[in-house]
C-alpha cells in the first residue's frame, strides 16, 4: 500500500474480537497475571505498554519507514527522552533556529545536567563540520523546516557528517510530516514528531512520538526512559491520535497547497517585508527543500510586517478568520506573534507573524489577512 492508503486504513487492521473497523480503546491500567505468575499476554502495566498504542505506533513506523515507533505524552517528552538517553558530558549539536521550548530546556536543564550543548546554523554544512568533536559528539539534533523561520537542513549531508564522527542524527520532522519528508530514508537515525500538531491535526490532544531506524541498544534506552519517567500518553489520547492520522494526507496536502498560494500572493506585498516559506524559489533553502520534500513544502509560513512589532501585533489583532492562538497543524488556520510567546531572549524577529494554514478556503484566508493589513495601514 502507498503511504496515503496506509494512513487512511490505519494499516487495515480490524478488531479481532468484534470485527470493528474503528479500533477499541483499552483504558485499563493493569493486567491479570497467569496462575503461574507470568504475563503471557505481554501486558503488565499501562505505563510500560498499553494495547491502544499498538496500532498508532505501527502506522507511524510504516509511514516513516522505521523499525519501531513509540508514543509519548508530549512532543517535549519525546524530544527530551532522546537527549536523556545520552550520558552527562556528551557533546550534542542543536540548531540555532528551533522550537523555542526545547532550546530553553537544552540551555537551562541539559547543560546543568552535564551535557555539552552547542548551537549551530544547520543550513551551513561547514559550520556543522567545524563544531563536531571527535569521540565526544554523540548527537546532532536538527529541525526541518525549522520553527519559525522555516530554515531547511540538508538531511542527507548532515547524516554523513554525523555518522562519520560516530554520532547519531535525530530530526524534528513535525512540520515536514511523513507526507512530505522521510528523514530515515535520508540517513537520519531517529525522527521526532510533536503529535499534537499535524499527526493528530484537530487541536484536541497533547502527544509526541519517536520513530527509529533500528531497534538497537540506544532505542532500548529511550523506551526504558519512557517507562521510568512516565512520559506516556493516556489510552484515549493514543486512540485520538490514530483517528487523526487517518486523515493526515488530505489535511496536510490541502494546507500545503493553500500555504503555497498565500506565500506567493504576499511576496512583494507593500506591507510585508519578507515572506518565509520553503516553497518560494527566492527562499534560501528552496533548492534543498525541493530535493528532500516530496510533493509539497508544508503548511507553515511566516510573514514579517513592515512597521515592526507594533504593526505585526496590530495586524494579528484585526484578523477574523485566522485565529490568534499558539500551536500549529490543526484544521483551523492560526496566527501568532512569536516573539511575544518566546520572550526577551528569542532570536525570532519582532515583526514576524507565524501562520499555520488550515483547510479553509484559501481565498478567505488571503482576504482576511489583506483586510487586517489594510486596517493597520489606515
Closest CA to 342 of 79, 99, 74: 99
Q: Which residues contact 101 (CB under 8 A, 6 or more apart)?
A: 76
C-beta of residue 132 within 8 angstroms of C-beta of residue 93: yes
Same domain, 241 and 273: no
> What secondary structure does DSSP assign to 136-181, as a single string?
TEEEEEEESSBTTTTB---HHHHHHHHHHTT-EEEEE-TTTHHHH-
Q: In this structure, are 77 and 211 located in the same domain?
A: yes
Last residue of a domain, one of 189, 216, 245: 245
Note the pLDDT of residue 49: 82
With a cut of 70, list the residues of the chain below it in pLDDT: none
- pLDDT score recorded for residue 71: 98
What's the pLDDT score for residue 140?
98
pLDDT at position 211 is: 98
Rg of the chain, C-alpha, whole Å: 21
Tell me: do 187 and 319 sit in the same domain.
no
Q: What range does the domain containing 336 cover?
A: 249-377
| Same domain? 80 vs 177 | yes
- Report in angstroms the alpha-carbon separations of 123 from 282, 289, 335, 347: 15, 11, 26, 16
Please indicate, yes or no, whether residues 225 and 341 belong to a single structural domain of this protein: no
At 27 the pLDDT is 93
Of 229, 245, 261, which residue is a domain's last?
Answer: 245
- Does residue 360 sit in the same domain as residue 268? yes
Same domain, 9 and 50: yes
Treating both helix axes as pointing N-terminal to C-terminal, what angle do 362-377 and 308-317 enclose, rounded to 10 degrees? 130
Q: Which of 211, 245, 279 is the last residue in one of the domains? A: 245
For the domain that residue 299 is a member of, what is the CATH number? Answer: 3.90.1150.10
Q: What is the pLDDT of residue 243?
A: 97
Residues 14 and 34 in one domain: yes
Q: 321 and 233, same structural domain?
A: no
Domain identity same for 62 and 154: yes
Q: What is the pLDDT of residue 29?
A: 92
Whole-number pLDDT of residue 17:
85
> What residues are annotated to the active site?
47, 99, 172, 197
Q: What is the pLDDT of residue 346?
A: 86
Q: Do 241 and 276 sit in the same domain of this protein?
A: no
Distance CA 139, CA 154 (A): 16
The verdict on 292 and 361 lying in the same domain is yes
* CATH number reported for the structural domain that contains residue 221 in this entry: 3.40.640.10
Q: What is the pLDDT of residues 236-283, one digit of tens each?
A: 999 999 999 999 999 999 999 999 999 999 999 999 999 999 999 999
Q: How many domains does the chain have?
A: 2
Amino acid at each position: 500500500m502507498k503511504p496515503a492508503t496506509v494512513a487512511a486504513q490505519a494499516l487495515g487492521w480490524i478488531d479481532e474480537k468484534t470485527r470493528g473497523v474503528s479500533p477499541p480503546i483499552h483504558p485499563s491500567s493493569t493486567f491479570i497475571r497467569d496462575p503461574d505468575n507470568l504475563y503471557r499476554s505481554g501486558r503488565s502495566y499501562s505505563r510500560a505498554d498499553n494495547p491502544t498504542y499498538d496500532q498508532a505506533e505501527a502506522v507511524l513506523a510504516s509511514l516513516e519507514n522505521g523499525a519501531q515507533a513509540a508514543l509519548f505524552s508530549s512532543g517535549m517528552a519525546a524530544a527530551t527522552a532522546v537527549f536523556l538517553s545520552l550520558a552527562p558530558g556528551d557533546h550534542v549539536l542543536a540548531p540555532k533556529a528551533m522550537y523555542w521550548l526545547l532550546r530553553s530546556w537544552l540551555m537551562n536543564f541539559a547543560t546543568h545536567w552535564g551535557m555539552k550543548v552547542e548551537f549551530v546554523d544547520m543550513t551551513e554544512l561547514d559550520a556543522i563540520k567545524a563544531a563536531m568533536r571527535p569521540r565526544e559528539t554523540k548527537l546532532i539534533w536538527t529541525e526541518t523546516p525549522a520553527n519559525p523561520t522555516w530554515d531547511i537542513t540538508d538531511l542527507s549531508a548532515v547524516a554523513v557528517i554525523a555518522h562519520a564522527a560516530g554520532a547519531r542524527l535525530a530530526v524534528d520532522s513535525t512540520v515536514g510530516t511523513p507526507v512530505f519528508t522521510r528523514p530515515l530514508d535520508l540517513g537520519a537515525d531517529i525522527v521526532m514528531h510533536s503529535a499534537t500538531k499535524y499527526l493528530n491535526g484537530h487541536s484536541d490532544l497533547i502527544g509526541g512520538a519517536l520513530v527509529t531506524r533500528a531497534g538497537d541498544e540506544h532505542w532500548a534506552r529511550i523506551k526504558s526512559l519512557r517507562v521510568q519517567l512516565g512520559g506516556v500518553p493516556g489510552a484515549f489520547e493514543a486512540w485520538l491520535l490514530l483517528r487523526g492520522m487517518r486523515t493526515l494526507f488530505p489535511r496536510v496536502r490541502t494546507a500545503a497547497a493553500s500555504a503555497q498560494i498565500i506565500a506567493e500572493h504576499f511576496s512583494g506585498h507593500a506591507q510585508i517585508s519578507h515572506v518565509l516559506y520553503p516553497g518560494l524559489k527566492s527562499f534560501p533553502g528552496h533548492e534543498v527543500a525541493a530535493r528532500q520534500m516530496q510533493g509539497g513544502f508544508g503548511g507553515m509560513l511566516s510573514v514579517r510586517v513592515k512597521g515592526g512589532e507594533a504593526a505585526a501585533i496590530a495586524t494579528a489583532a484585526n484578523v477574523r478568520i485566522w485565529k490568534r492562538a499558539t500551536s500549529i497543524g490543526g484544521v483551523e488556520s492560526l496566527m501568532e506573534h512569536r516573539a511575544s510567546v518566546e520572550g526577551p531572549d528569542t532570536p525570532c524577529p519582532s515583526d514576524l507573524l507565524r501562520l499555520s494554514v488550515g483547510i479553509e478556503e484559501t481565498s478567505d484566508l488571503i482576504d482576511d489577512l489583506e483586510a487586517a493589513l489594510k486596517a493597520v495601514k489606515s
